[in-house]
Structure 1
C-alpha cells in the first residue's frame, strides 16, 4: 500500500511539472530531477503491476468515435430502493453490521478487466443496456489501466467531476453552454465521442461495488484499494449502532473536504452472502438502501399563477416560472395546491424569486419565496380569481377541513364537466382511448357533450367530426370504435367513473363486491342492486367509513335516474360469474401472482389483476417465497423478477398458460 501511495504522489508531481513546463514555460525542477522521479515511477509500476490512466509513463492517445455503441451488461445494474426517513436507515442497520457510504452524484460506470488489462467501460443506461465509453475511461484521472490481478474482474462505480473542477470548467464555457450541476457535466463529458474533450474535464472514477471472493464488502473495498482504485468514502457501522447521525455527518464532512458531489448516502449489509439471500425485486436489490438527506433547492423567477379545475369544481393554483433544470429534467410548473398554501408561501406578484425543489425526487414543489421590495401594481399582482376562467361565473373561497379553497359557484360550469368527463373516460374507469382533455373540451364547446351519456351518441356527429381540423377519418373511426368497446365494462369501473365524492378505486371495488353478493343471493343484476339497495352502511361495506357511505348514499339518492339511464348504455359484467359458476370462479383461492413484462392478451395490467381477483387469487408487486406463479410472456427474460422466481423455484408462466389455468 505504501508503494501505491508513492505511485500516486509521483504521478501528481510529474503531471504538475509537465503542466507548468508545457503550458507556462516554467521549469519547476531540473531535467535530472524529473528523470529520476520518472524512473522511480516506472520501476514502482513494474513492481506493483499497477498503471494508472494519468501516469506520464503511459500516455494514452486520444480517440474519436463516430458513435457510442450499445452494450448489454453481463448482469443487471439495478437502482436502489430509496428513503428519506432516518428511522428506515436505523431499522435497516439494527441487527446486522453494515457499511454506510456516500452516494456519489455522477454517472454510473461498469469497468471490466481481463488478464489485468482494462478492456471495457460501459454506462449504466437502463440497467440492462448501456453505452461503450472505454475510449473516454482511458483518460479518466484515476482509473488503473493495468492491475495486478489476472482473473476477470468487473467493478462498478461513479464517474464524477469535483465541485472545484466543475466551477473551473463552467467558467470557460459560453453562457448558453454552461452546465447547471456536476452531474450533468460529467454525464455529457463521459459520453463525448472525442476522448480529447473528456480528458480536459478531469473525470474521476469512484468505486462503490467490488466483487470479491471473500465474505465481506469491507474486504472487497480493501482489495480494490490495493489494486489502485479510489474507493467511495465509507464508515463501518456495527449492528445496533445508536449514533447513526454521527456517521452521517462525518461522511458529509469527508465529501465536502474532497469536493465530491453527493446526493445522499447508501447503506449496505457487510455480509455479502446475507445480502444476496434477501433477493431482489424487479427494480432494486434488498441488500442496500439509498438515503436522501436533502432536496436540492433551485431559484427561478415566478411568471404567473394559473388556475385549473378538477372534477369537483375546485380551482387549484399552479405556479408558472422560468424553466429550471432539476435532476436532469426541465421544470416550469408546480402546484400550489390551495389558497391557504399560496398565501402561506407569500406569493403576491409576478417576478418574485421562488425556491423550487423536487419532493421525493419526483414532484416539483415551491419551498419558499425570497423577499423583495418590488412595488405591487395592477399589472403584476397575483390574487385568487374573482371569476371562473371556464364559465366566467363568480368564484368563492370556502373552508375545506380548515383549508381555504377556491371554487366556482356555478353548478353547471363547463370546467367541472371537463374534469368529470376526463375522469370517466380514464383507463382505470371506463377506459376510452382517444378522448384527451383537448378533444373533450372541443366537443363540449361544440355542444356535443353535457353528460356522460352523451359520449355514447357522439357517432351522430361523425360526419361533422371528419371535417374538424386535425381529425382524420381514420382517427375518428378509431375513437368511435373505442367508445363502442367501452360499453363492455365491470361494475367497479362504472362506479369509479361516476366521480362520486370520496369514492376511489378501492372503495368502488368494495361496493361492487357487496352488490355482487346481494345479486347472487337474490338472483338480480349487480347494477340493479347498486342503485336500488337503499342505504349502504359501514357494516355492509368493510373498509368504508360512515362519511364515505353518506357521500355514496347522497349521490345515488340525487342521481338515481341518471345512473339508471346511463347504465342502459353498458353491458355491465360482474366481477365474478353467476351462481352456477361460483365454484369455478374461486379456483385461484390462496394463490399469489406477480405480473411483469408486456401483455398481449389482456388490455393492460389492471385487466389481468381484475381477472385474478375475480377467480379468488391475489396479486403482489414482488416475488417472494409466498408467490405461486410469476406471469411473464418472456419466460427466458433475465429481469430481476425472473431471476428471483428461478432462484425460489417458482413457476414462470405466460398469459396463455394463465388462461389455460383458469379454464
Structure 2
C-alpha cells in the first residue's frame, strides 16, 4: 500500500475515533444518545477492523483499547502528588452553622459563597491526564497513596480516554478526583446473577463497587456497569480557575461526567434548605447518596483556609440522619483490642441496617451501657455511626418484660484472666498484661498489615495458630520462625511455609515510617509515623526523644508525645526493639532518592524478576528518580521484561516502546551483577 493510501486509512481511523468519542459522551455522560445502537456498533466494528489490519495506528486512547486482554499481575502502589484528604462530617443543621461560623471567623469581613453537591456513596479515585490522554488512575487508599487501578478504570465508559480541547488547548497535566459508583439497577442485576451462581451477595452498591475495582481481570470489571461523577481537582498545570463552580463547568467541557445536582448558594440558610430537599429526594435516584458536600466556592479562600492533617477546612460533609432499626439484644460479650482496651459488644438478632446485615453492634464502654441503661434481652435501636460502624443508640424500655438482665463489666480480662484497670479521666477499661493473647494477636495483625510491614500470607487464622501454639510471644518473634515449626501447623504445606518465610524476610527492609507505624504506638497512625520518620533518623533516636522534643513537632501535640514516651519507656518495648534489630529489621531512615539517573523516565514492569520483588523494583526506580506506571502507553520509556511476561510485552512491541532486561536496568543505575 502506498504512503498516500496509508494516510487515507489513518485519516479514517482518526475520524472514526472522534465520532465514537462524541457518541460515547452523548450516551454515557449526557444520557442523550443521537444514534441507534446498531449505528454505533457499525462505527466501532469498522474502527476495530482497521486497527487490526493496520496495528501501527493503534493508540492507547483509542475507544477499542479500553479493555485489556490478559488479567493483571497485581496492583502497584502509587503516591498521590496532592493528598486525597478525607472530609469532616456533620450530622445536624447546627453543626452546618458551626462550620459556617468557623469559616467566617478565618475569613473576617469577606463574602463567602458555597457550592453544595450530592455525596455519592462510592469509591474515591484519582484520574491523571497528560496532554489530554488518560495515563493513570488510582484509588484513594490512605489518602497519601493508593492502588493503581488504571486498567479497571479504563473500562468505565464515562471516563474519557482523551479530553476535549477548550479553545484548542488541553492542560499538560490534569489530575481530577471523582467517585466511582454502581447504579442501583446494575447492583440488583449483579446480585441476581451471583445468587443464581451460588456466589455470596454484595451487601450494598458501595461494597460491590470496591470489590469490582479490586478485580484483576479488566474484562470482568467491564461487565459490572460501573459509572463515575467527578467532583474536584488534584495536581494540575497550565490552567487556572477562581471558583469551584467554574472547575465543575470546565470538567463538563473537556468530557467528564459531573453530577448535575450541584447548587451555588449565597448563604448558609440556603445551603441547609438544599440539604433538606435532598434528604427527602435521595431514594428516588438511581444511585446511592449518603449526604451532601458543602464547599467554599472561592479557590483563593480555600487556599487560605487550608487543611488539618486529616481534612480541608473549606469543606464539610453533611451526613443524612442515620437509619435506625429495632432488634433484640441477646447477649453482651467483651473484646480485647491490641492496646488492651476492653470493648463491650452487643450480640443482636440479625437485622438489615443501612445496606448490611448486622448481628453485632458496639456499646463503646461501660459508661455508655449505664447511660442507656441497656440490659440483655432488651429491644434496642441500632444505627451505623457514619454509616460504617453499627452501634446501639437506644433502648425501648416500654417493651421490657422484667426478664431482662443487667450487665457488669468484668474486673478481669476475659482472655488472660489478669486484673483490668481504669485510669483516672479515661472511660476505657484496660488489660495491662503485655502477654495477653488477645492483645498479642491484634498487635501481630497490625504489625503485618499492608500499611505496616505488609507481610503477605500472614492472616488472622495463621496468627491465631502461632499464638495458641506459643510460637510467638511478640511480633519480633516472627523473624525467628523456622520451617520445621510452621510445617506442623494446619493448612501449611511446604510451598505455603516457603512463601511466608520469604514474605517475612522481605519485610525486614521496609522504610522507617512503616516500622514506626507497625510498632502499634497508641495514637500513631500512618501519617504521624511519617512525620516522626522525617524528624528522627532511627528508632533509637525516637526512643530517646523527650516529651518536650516531641511536643514541639507540628501535628504531634501533648497526647501523642506522651504516648510515644510512655511506649519506649517500657522494658518490654526495649526488649522487642532489640530482637527486631538482631533479626536485621531496618530501624533507620534511608535516603529515598540516591540518584537522578532515571529522572524523567517512565518504566513499566512485566514478568518475574530474579533480583527484585515487584515492590522492590518499584522502590528502586523511584529512588533513582524514575516513575512507575501500571500499563504500557506511548508515554512509557522502558518496559522491564522478566520471566513469563504478560500482555504488556505485546503492547510495548505494538507501540514501539523499548524493552530491557533486568540486567540492562541494573547497568542503567550502575548496579553490578
- Give the TM-score of the pair, scaled to structure 1: 0.51
Q: CA deviation at 1:68?
A: 1.6
Q: CA deviation at 1:326?
A: 7.6
1:597 equivalent among 523, 532, 542: 532
Aligned counterpart, 2:572: none
Q: CA deviation at 1:187?
A: 0.3
State the distance in 2 between where 1:80 and 1:269 align. Answer: 13
1:348 equivalent among 377, 389, 394: 377
- Correspondences of 1:219-618 after superposition (within 5 Å): 219-252=246-279, 255-297=282-324, 302-306=329-333, 318-321=345-348, 332-335=360-363, 337-338=368-369, 341-342=372-373, 348=377, 355-360=381-386, 364-367=390-393, 382-384=404-406, 420-421=420-421, 434-436=434-436, 596-597=531-532, 600-601=539-540, 608-609=546-547, 611=548
2:212 equivalent among 185, 189, 192: 189
Aligned counterpart, 1:76: 83
Q: CA deviation at 1:204?
A: 0.6
Aligned counterpart, 1:202: 225
Quick one: structure 1 residues 120 and 300, their matched pair in 2 at CA, closer, same or farther if it must change by over 3 Å?
Answer: farther
SS at match of 1:125: coil
Aligned counterpart, 1:133: 149
**Does the 8 Å contact 1:233/1:255 carry over to 2?**
no
Long gaps (5+) in structure 1: 19-30, 40-52, 310-314, 392-411, 441-467, 479-592, 624-630, 639-663
**Does the 8 Å contact 1:233/1:254 carry over to 2?**
no
**Does the 8 Å contact 2:421/2:430 carry over to 1?**
no
State the distance in 1 between where 2:541 and 2:431 align. Answer: 13
SS at match of 2:272: helix
Aligned counterpart, 1:560: none
Aligned counterpart, 1:170: 191
Q: CA deviation at 1:182?
A: 0.9
Per-residue deviation, residues 620-645 of structure 1 (Å, max 9, x unmatched): 7479xxxxxxx9x979999xxxxxxx
Quick one: structure 1 residues 300 and 5, their matched pair in 2 at CA, closer, same or farther if it must change by over 3 Å?
Answer: farther
State the distance in 2 between where 1:247 and 1:97 align. Answer: 14
Quick one: structure 1 residues 302 and 69, their matched pair in 2 at CA, closer, same or farther if it must change by over 3 Å?
Answer: same
| 1:123 is the counterpart of 2:134 | no
1:217 equivalent among 223, 228, 244: 244
SS at match of 2:532: coil
Long gaps (5+) in structure 2: 1-19, 47-59, 105-110, 337-341, 441-466, 478-527, 558-564, 566-587, 594-673
- Give the TM-score of the pair, scaled to structure 2: 0.50
State the distance in 2 between where 1:144 and 1:290 align. Answer: 28
State the distance in 2 between where 1:104 and 1:637 align. Answer: 37
SS at match of 2:137: strand
| 1:158 is the counterpart of 2:179 | yes
State the distance in 2 between where 1:300 and 1:260 align. Answer: 28
**Does the 8 Å contact 1:161/1:202 carry over to 2?**
yes
State the distance in 1 between where 2:390 and 2:92 align. Answer: 19
Q: CA deviation at 1:243?
A: 3.3
State the distance in 1 between where 2:430 and 2:42 align. Answer: 79
RMSD between superposed Cα atoms in Å? 5.5
State the distance in 1 between where 2:299 and 2:143 align. Answer: 21
SS at match of 1:165: helix
Per-residue deviation, residues 406-453 of structure 1 (Å, max 9, x unmatched): xxxxxx9999x95554759x9x9999771539799xxxxxxxxxxxxx
Q: CA deviation at 1:338?
A: 3.5
Aligned residues: 417
Quick one: structure 1 residues 256 and 247, their matched pair in 2 at CA, closer, same or farther if it must change by over 3 Å?
Answer: same
Aligned counterpart, 1:146: 162
Q: CA deviation at 1:90?
A: 2.8
Quick one: structure 1 residues 322 and 97, their matched pair in 2 at CA, closer, same or farther if it must change by over 3 Å?
Answer: same
**Does the 8 Å contact 1:159/1:204 carry over to 2?**
yes
Q: CA deviation at 1:224?
A: 0.6
SS at match of 1:169: helix
**Does the 8 Å contact 2:184/2:288 carry over to 1?**
yes
Aligned counterpart, 2:617: none
Q: CA deviation at 1:66?
A: 2.0
Quick one: structure 1 residues 272 and 59, their matched pair in 2 at CA, closer, same or farther if it must change by over 3 Å?
Answer: closer
